Homo-oligomer: A and B are copies of this chain.
Amino acid sequence: MASTGKVLVYGGRGALGSAIVDFFKSKQWWTVSVDLASNDNADANVVVGPTDSWIEQSEKVTHGVAQVIGEDKLDAIFCVAGGWAGGNAGSADFVKSADMIWKQSVWTSTIAAHLASKHLRPSGVLQLTGAAPALEGTAFMMGYGMAKAAVHQLTKSLAGNKTGLPSDALAVAILPVTLDTPMNRKNMPSADFTTWTPLEFVASTFYDWTTKQDKRPANGSLVKLITTGGQTELIPA
């Protein structure tokens, strides 16, 4: 069966990234994963070196994606790479944590934005990943909050004038609270899972945004994912 569209998933080997690859594959879409390791379910992979600098990662990913995409255009770029670390200004590993989270969230988001400037089709979707708590101060996870606040502000910049993105592109960030991943279930076994956002809901929402103009949030939106009793609402911050 011929592919009906093409998407790139930055962090395509992670729990959410894998769910997105699987969802779009189930719709016969072509997918490319960018991650530290290959996702064998994706049609193509660009593998990132763990010790690259920000500039090296940008150059290698830009080159690698150009090779697999060629002159084709992407319908959407989803950046769901990221991680978490706690700690305040007094923590011995404050800077180490902030450095790690910055790499996982902000390097990937900026490189995804740069890829969008080159390979996204007009009216395509660029999705980044923020965090609802970072709308305010986050004393117990200072490095995490800073990185996510940077992603939020980047999303607003990408909805401005002369952003470098193709015409009518949608720039949007999702702000999850807790995603229902195997890792989170393992780390928080006694939590109330009915307040966690299912990965398939996120993937299906991205599919709607990509394929249906009237389902899209406003350009530059920060969209909170609020799950109650197993039902998730999309709430602009």
User: Could you tell me how many residues of chain A have their Cβ less than 8 Å away from some Cβ of chain B?
Assistant: 53
**Does chain B have a CB within 8 A of A106?**
yes
In the complex, which residue of chain B has the Cβ closest to the Cβ of A94? B114
Q: B139 touching A150 by the CB < 8 A rule?
A: no
Interface of A: prevailing SS: helix
Q: How far is the CA of A134 from the CA of B150 in the complex (A)?
A: 10
Q: B98 touching A143 by the CB < 8 A rule?
A: no
In the complex, which residue of chain B has the Cβ closest to the Cβ of A154? B146
**Does chain B have a CB within 8 A of A149?**
yes
**Does chain B have a CB within 8 A of A213?**
no
Q: How far is the CA of A118 from the CA of B90 in the complex (A)?
A: 7
**Does chain B have a CB within 8 A of A230?**
no
**Does chain B have a CB within 8 A of A17?**
no
**Does chain B have a CB within 8 A of A164?**
yes
With beta carbons under 8 angstroms apart, the residue of B55, B114, B151, B163 that contacts A139 is B163
Interface of chain A residues 132 through 175 with chain B (CB within 8 A): 134, 136-140, 142-143, 145-165
Residues of A within 8 A of B (CB): 53-55, 58, 88-91, 94-96, 98-99, 102, 106-107, 110-111, 113-114, 116-118, 134, 136-140, 142-143, 145-165, 220
Task: Name the 8 nearest CB pairs between A and B, nearest first.
Answer: A90-B164, A139-B160, A137-B156, A149-B153, A90-B117, A89-B164, A89-B113, A88-B164
